[in-house]
Structure 1
Amino acid sequence: MIRVFTTAVIPFALATVLPICVTSGVSADPDPQPWSERAIREDVDIAALAASGQDPIAVLQPLGERLFSAKFTTLDGAGRPDATSAIVPTKARRRSPLPFQRLAGMDANACASCHNEPVVGGAGAFTANVFVSEGFESADFDTIDPQFSNERNTNAVQGSGLIELLAREMTQDLRRQRQAVLAKARESGDAAKALLKTKGISFGSLTAYPDGTLDVSGLDGIDDDLTLRPFSQKGVFASLRQFTVNAMNDHHGMQARERFGAVWTGTDDFDGDGHADELTPGQISALVAWQATLPAPTRKTDLPDVWQAAAQKGETLFGAIGCSSCHVPELPLESLIFQDPGPFDTAGTLRQSDVAAPLELDLATLDWVKALPRDNQGRVLVPLFGDLKRHKIADAANDTFGNELLAQRFVARDVFMTAELWGIGSTAPYGHRGDLTTLDEVILAHGGEATASRKAYSALEDPERQAIIAFLRSLEIAE
């Protein structure tokens, strides 16, 4: 199921394909030149893996880690001279004379070039900021003018498998509620209204009519299709797979077959760099598996007594001033089976309808998952300090977070996804641009729906504010 190969370079065929034993998850490099500058040497047949009964985590996780840290080269297909960073395959208006440039990409050699603090997969310093233009309407993908992109700091991906599983369950629950209110309206002959709530999080209301139409104007913090999209600061990506396919093209010019291949574009070399099918579905699955199985952030266990006492007090104050209404300490998770592709992967990303059976990664087998608390129903309590919901967090009086020039995916410029605070003690700097150096600064930057909590924080005495900082600084990504 894992094979080691030399990347196809048009017009030449695949040079070497060697089957290897998958039970160890380790492969030998058949390249006769051990100094080869290719970064990609392995692939996985995910159809065979899904049918084999083997643990996909054991097979995919090591390869995913290597790919996440790999510095892609032109021998792998890095670069996209004839294509842009757009999510939908888009031809460049003109070839850029610069293969690397910060505003329109490529802008990184490896995923780990930015996701590296305090460990690989983590966050990034201000120097690792990206200029995001993919997914924006009316963007000029060839320009270096900053008005056509928004500057964003690098997010950590630790615990992202649990985040996606929560989002899937909440999406399914909200859609069941939609079906129920539609049925009620149809049966009664009158309009029916449902207050949408899942795992304790409210997403507004939905009104159904007997003719099957819906009034979605009452929805809050979610798209009209009731799909939770937990990834990116704006909450616009539903899955790690979608996020990965987007990022590989945007940042590295590495185009995944499942979106840029012949099925969708009519060519296997959409970016015109002489390399066909630069990333296979198996390689994307390996990257997804590695991210999905990264340990969730935890709490520091070696705090001195004075810090421990302050953190305990700070956690209580954090809830008392209303911060935990959005930064919810924990959400319950029913199932730990992570399917890839997932149920909400859509066209341009490998879908469950594209495969005989999805891979099933059982996160319950991971030691760090076994250590997570459970409620009295046996559900895992995911300590994310978030709600997987969008909120307005800027206003005219406090517009620190309203500084972006473009609306992404029709999400208003002053609306952002609640940042999960687990690990925040390891991920300075703060804010979506990474331009706030302390936790005190980022708390005071909140406006919009967070105004009352920010004012309550401001009204505290300094020792109480410091206690909240002590609590937040105790939430870490283990090294």
Structure 2
Amino acid sequence: MEQQYKLIPYILFGLLSSHFGSAVVAAPKICPPGLEADSPTVPFSIEQADINSGALSFQQISNHGKSLFDARFNRCDGSGRPETTGGGDKRDIPSFSEEGEPITAAQVEKLRTSAPDSDACSGCHAQPESGGAGDFVANVFVLAQTLDPVTLSVSPTRSNSRNTLGMHGSGPIEMLAREMTADLQAQRAGLGDGVHTLTTKGVKFKVKIANGQVVESEGIDHDLIVKPFHQAGKVISLREFSNNAMNHHHGMQAEERFDLNPSKGMDFDGDGVERELTIGDETAISIWQAQLSTPVQVMPEKHEEREVVKHGEKVFNDVGCTSCHVPSMVLNTRHFVEPNPYNPAGNCKSAEDGCPNFSFDMTKTGDKPRLEKGPKNTAIVRAYTDLKRHNLCDDANSANPIRWFCNEQLAQGRPDQNGKPGSEFFLTRKLWDVGNTAPYGHRGDISTITEAILYHGGEARASRDAFAEKPVEDQKALVAFLKTLQIVPQKK
């Protein structure tokens, strides 16, 4: 099916129906007036009803998701959002930006800072293959997309510059976060006022409850939902991540958030295209990302090099890195289930929204290498993270403070962090793909693993100092160990 997308730029409805058998493929998209001679990159959508009924196979759903992830969307697809912000609100197009510079129609249609800033998801998520991480040039300017008027500035007073993270292994990560969330909320339900420590998967979260409400929480929002996506742990699911990104970066609007929302309605962004991404499309792109291969350890062939790696793993543990970069956690289910019941409004989360559960076994289905099986239908997630937010900044008044990760100036609106900039509270980075997803750091401005370690401050300062005090050979071994943790690209 994937090759058919590439060979046929536009396909008649009859051919689509023939390809999908009895499936009810959504009507082909039609270019807006004036562009009738052209055609959309992805000429059709799929309907959630066909996913629900089983008319589409797992592979057909996944392949369609990949076509959406790799597509270079154009105006006929619905790219662009001339009347809305990247946050999904209506805006007036001003004559001048806040910097006093004139804004032209072209700048509104495509703008590196406030976006839309990309044609394809794979334009940024590309290393070492589609779905992977991004170079510094692919950085996104978080919060700039919500500005009205838009900004031309990359100043930290206008946005937070963030590097593109890899999506491989995201299916297991989302399911791990769901299990942790359910566990934390169940523990919270039986507690009275006071300070409590909740523990899930071996990770501790301190919370303060007053008048029956969580008023303070350590490393997590007050709702006790583990949010495993984005550098600062802001997004709950692959679906929310995709809905946000499609609107923000491409101006592609999901019908579940826009067309079906009575307060917004059809063609809310005013680009002349309706139902740009159907509920079925969003399910497909979530499923494709969830089935991406699981990063693994790729050991060197030579015995002496393997011994160095093994020693490096011991050093990694000895200096305390594993207190946050937890080597592995047990997942109680091997199945990825879409949608996520904790999704926020505007994202399908249940059958009531038109999204009954669709699931697949992550140890048996999807790109290889797949999730590792554990005993009794469990699975092992070797991601090297605790899915908790931590402060990586030394106090500015301390002796020899390390504040590399303290360069963001805009708060993320998290009440649990007292409005402090997100740079002080990043989600523990998953290290299972660190070996081939350079550069490093939240801005992608760190070129080596050694620098990334030495720039840790705050809660990680003791481990950083322990590493710095180690002999160079031990440091080399630790770095060699981390370089073995990789995404294994699919064979072409």
Same fold (TM over 0.5): yes
With over 3 angstroms needed to count, the CA separation of the structure-2 counterparts of 1:197 and 1:74, relative to structure 1, is same
1:410-462 CA-partner distances (Å, limit 9, x unpaired): 25321111110011010111001000000001101101100000000110011
Match in the other structure for 1:175: 185
TM-score between the two structures when normalised by the length of structure 2? 0.85
- How do 1:54-65 and structure 2 match up within 5 A? 55=57, 57-65=58-66
Q: Is the 8 A contact 1:89 1:265 kept in 2?
A: no
Q: CA deviation at 1:336?
A: 2.5
1:316-343 CA-partner distances (Å, limit 9, x unpaired): 1101111001000011101122222211
Distance 2:478 2:325 in 1: 13
With over 3 angstroms needed to count, the CA separation of the structure-2 counterparts of 1:107 and 1:197, relative to structure 1, is same
Match in the other structure for 1:44: 46
2:278 counterpart (277, 280, 287): 280
Distance 1:390 1:474 in 2: 25
Would you say 1:474 and 2:474 are equivalent positions?
no
1:116 counterpart (122, 126, 149): 126
Range that drifts further, 447-456 or 273-282: 273-282
1:265 aligns to what SS in structure 2? coil
Distance 1:109 1:132 in 2: 18
Distance 1:77 1:42 in 2: 12
Q: Is the 8 A contact 1:257 1:279 kept in 2?
A: yes
1:164 counterpart (174, 185, 188): 174
Distance 2:148 2:176 in 1: 35
Distance 2:289 2:459 in 1: 31
Range that drifts further, 425-434 or 262-271: 262-271
Q: Is the 8 A contact 2:330 2:379 kept in 1?
A: yes
1:148 aligns to what SS in structure 2? coil
Q: In structure 1, what residue type is equivalent to 2:389? A: R
With over 3 angstroms needed to count, the CA separation of the structure-2 counterparts of 1:359 and 1:446, relative to structure 1, is same
Give RMSD over aligned pairs.
3.0
Would you say 1:406 and 2:410 are equivalent positions?
yes
Q: CA deviation at 1:266?
A: 3.4
Q: CA deviation at 1:52?
A: 2.8
Q: In structure 1, what residue type is equivalent to 2:379? A: V
Distance 2:145 2:190 in 1: 33
1:77-128 CA-partner distances (Å, limit 9, x unpaired): 1111111111x43424538521212111111110111111111111111111
Match in the other structure for 1:204: 206
1:44 aligns to what SS in structure 2? coil
Q: Is the 8 A contact 2:373 2:379 kept in 1?
A: yes
With over 3 angstroms needed to count, the CA separation of the structure-2 counterparts of 1:406 and 1:264, relative to structure 1, is farther
Q: Is the 8 A contact 2:326 2:383 kept in 1?
A: yes
2:190 aligns to what SS in structure 1? helix
Match in the other structure for 2:378: 379
With over 3 angstroms needed to count, the CA separation of the structure-2 counterparts of 1:448 and 1:208, relative to structure 1, is same
- How do 1:66-465 and structure 2 match up within 5 A? 66-86=67-87, 88-94=88-94, 96-97=103-104, 98=107, 99-133=109-143, 139-140=147-148, 142-146=150-154, 147-181=157-191, 185=192, 191=193, 194-207=196-209, 213-217=212-216, 219-352=217-350, 353-355=352-354, 357-366=356-365, 372-395=371-394, 396=396, 397-410=401-414, 412-413=420-421, 414-465=424-475
Q: Is the 8 A contact 2:50 2:56 kept in 1?
A: no
Q: CA deviation at 1:47?
A: 2.5
Distance 2:55 2:302 in 1: 47
Distance 2:444 2:151 in 1: 23
With over 3 angstroms needed to count, the CA separation of the structure-2 counterparts of 1:31 and 1:323, relative to structure 1, is closer
Q: Is the 8 A contact 1:236 1:409 kept in 2?
A: no
With over 3 angstroms needed to count, the CA separation of the structure-2 counterparts of 1:235 and 1:466, relative to structure 1, is same
Paired-residue identity, %: 38
Q: CA deviation at 1:358?
A: 2.5
TM-score between the two structures when normalised by the length of structure 1? 0.87
Distance 1:155 1:337 in 2: 23
Q: Is the 8 A contact 2:329 2:382 kept in 1?
A: yes
Q: CA deviation at 1:267?
A: 2.7
